[in-house]
A and B are shown apart, each in its own frame.
Chain A
Amino acid sequence: MKTAVGRPDTQQKDTVRLLNIALVVVGVIGVVFLAAQPTVPGASLVYWFNLMKAIVLALSLNLITGYTGYVDFGHVVFYGLGTYAAGIAIGMLGAPVPVPLWVFIGPLLVALIAMVVGMPALRLRGAYFAIAMLSFNAATRLIVLNLPRDFAGGAFGIPSPEIYDPHTAYYGMVGLLVTIVLVTVWLAGSRFGVGLKAIRDDEGAAGVMGVRTTRYKLAAFAVSAYFAAAAGSVDYWFVAFTSNELVFNNVVTVEMVAAVFLGGAGTVVGPILGAGILYLVRDYLWVRFPYLYLPMFGVVIAGVVLWVPRGVVGFVEDHVPSLRARIR
């Protein structure tokens, strides 16, 4: 994850500025396109909703794994807890807070859980953290499954047919997507983001240079968990159902990891690109070869690590000299 921070000459500066403008334009067009879908007759809301969900999840993993360098193999746990935060409040407790509000407040509880788990877990480095999170997801799944049935639904899950309103929920996901993109863009240039990247590159050195590593890591982890959980809550709003098997599924983590590394970890554009590409491929494969679906993600992850460790964004940077001063 080297970043060539030379002094870019004027021509490079222009190229980079042009590219940034182009990216903003594409982004705005994309958001307008997505926001317009509910008014298009015959458009498949489920299709676009799930695309946005995949991007939000990839960007949320990117915050802790891409920027901070802590690979999280249990990240789906926060998405799952997000669906349950919505499910329990709405389906079991009768929605004491209005649904459109709760799907953004409830995930704060999950962020809190992430901080509690993060305090011991983020003291672990590299493989130990990844494995701890993998097991944390497995353990959480079992615990939720064994909670009282009239509280968390047990193996049956929690349906709330009375709140089913995919049109409104769809806009919730549009809002979430825009928010996480803006947060990531801000983060990439902020003091906080620079601190995180310093932790990723050399945590000891970052600490010596005055980065408060523990606080920074916990904050990044909490924000990352918040967005994964919010994606879960909004997803609950959209489908009005959650169940254990579905939402604590490792397959979702595999998708997130594949998207982040394929696109380029620790960039804004990378995870969006990665999630988008994989979503198209996934859609094609699901219909024709459903069993190839998971192995295909595995092949993507392994191939990226072996041949393009910095993902599509890194590959472009390496092969287009004028961009070597970096896209960010």
Chain B
Amino acid sequence: METQILVNGLLIGGVYGIAALGLGMVWGVMSVVNVAHGDLLVFLAYMTWVMTVTANLSPFLALVVLIPAGFVIGMALYRFLVKHLIQRSEVELMSLVLFFGLSAIVYGISSYLWGSDFRSLPIPLPTLRVFGIVVPGTRLAAFLLGAGLVLGLRWFFRRTFWGKAIRAVAQSRNAARALGIDPDRVSEVAFGIALAYAGVAGALIAMISPLSPSLGVAYAGRSFAVVVLGGLGNPLGTLIAGIILGVTESLSSLWITFGLSPAVAFVLLIAVLIFRPQGIFKPIRSR
């Protein structure tokens, strides 16, 4: 029983990790706190549902549309909203309030379009049994895809020009500018990548749970806990933090009650903020 719970937690934790990645990246690179992240994730999850159910696509194929769509949404958010705030003195506070407004807009749209009842995808992959443990194929595929993309992002930050440019901007916008990097351009791309990852996460969320607009708050809470624990913008740290949250949630639903499991993220968040506010892993800002 315990092993089964641990496996469930591990698989769902991988999705929590990738869901939090976009939030951590934007926060770590440009001090912008995207409170609308949870609602955007759920919106993108609904897009997956729309494509799968109405166009009869496999949810994995929907990614081909969602990744570029997320990228464009991210670039647009930066260019039309964030860019105008980033020079002001109170970026963090003002971006916080701005995205709180955006969160209301996105949540309102999701509720209008799909709010009436839960939507879920037909399960695309069969369930496996390994040593007596039930492993749902879809969740396993979601976990592997998520983990692969996280490692890809780690490679991107360490080895590519754009990745290094993003880290440079995260450390200092002015120093980056002095070295011939355009911080606006780089931030725009970083925002695009963050939302492209949110697109992937949205598709994975649609595969593993029934959707309702109110899922946004739950995912916002989880993502914040994961980002703070895993270090702002650190891909591997975020994945591991996601798994820690997933396992903790599963165990709490076994030991306490299922209804309280979303509250676990809150307790974890507060505990981390009090005892280890710098997180366990290094943020993207550090070298």
> Given contacts A130-B35, A132-B269, are A291 and B111 in contact (CB under 8 A)?
yes
Partner of A138, one of B35, B88, B103, B263: B263
Asked if B257 CB lies within 8 Å of chain A CBs, one says: yes
Q: Which of B57-65, B93-101, B166-174 contacts A (4 or more CB under 8 A)?
A: B93-101
Query: Which residues on the B side are within 8 Å of A254 (C-beta)?
Result: 100-101, 104
B38 to chain A: closest residue by CB: A134
A292 to B105, CA, bound (A): 9
Partner of A298, one of B90, B104, B224, B259: B104
Q: Mark B20-35, 1 if CB is under 8 A from A, else 0.
A: 0000000100000101
Query: Which residues on the A side are within 8 Å of B273 (C-beta)?
Result: 120, 124, 128, 132
Query: Which residues on the A side are within 8 Å of B269 (C-beta)?
Result: 131-132, 135
Beta-carbon contact of B105 and A135 below 8 Å: no
Beta-carbon contact of A139 and B97 below 8 Å: no
Dominant SS at the B interface?
helix
Partner of B97, one of A1, A71, A142, A291: A71
A293 to B111, CA, bound (A): 11
Q: Most chain-A Cβ atoms within 10 A of its Cβ — which of B93, B106, B224?
A: B93
Q: Which of B144-152, B157-165, B215-223 contacts A (4 or more CB under 8 A)?
A: B215-223
Q: Mark B195-208, 1 if CB is under 8 A from A, else 0.
A: 00000000000000
Query: Which residues on the A side are within 8 Å of B111 (C-beta)?
Result: 291, 294
Beta-carbon contact of B262 and A142 below 8 Å: yes
Asked if B92 CB lies within 8 Å of chain A CBs, one says: yes
Q: Mark A223-260, 1 if CB is under 8 A from B, else 0.
A: 00000000000000000000000000011001001100
Beta-carbon contact of B108 and A293 below 8 Å: yes
Asked if B50 CB lies within 8 Å of chain A CBs, one says: no
A311 to B275, CA, bound (A): 37
20 A-B pairs with CB atoms under 8 Å apart are A73-B100, A126-B93, A127-B93, A131-B224, A135-B265, A138-B263, A142-B262, A254-B101, A291-B108, A292-B108, A295-B104, A295-B105, A295-B109, A298-B103, A298-B106, A300-B101, A301-B100, A302-B101, A302-B105, A305-B94
Binding site for A on B (CB under 8 A): 27, 33, 35, 81, 84-85, 88, 90, 92-94, 96-98, 100-109, 111-112, 217-218, 220-221, 224-225, 228, 257, 259-260, 262-263, 265-267, 269-270, 273-274, 277
Binding site for B on A (CB under 8 A): 1, 69, 71, 73, 120-121, 123-124, 126-128, 130-132, 134-136, 138-139, 142-143, 145-146, 250-251, 254, 257-258, 261, 291-295, 297-303, 305-306, 309
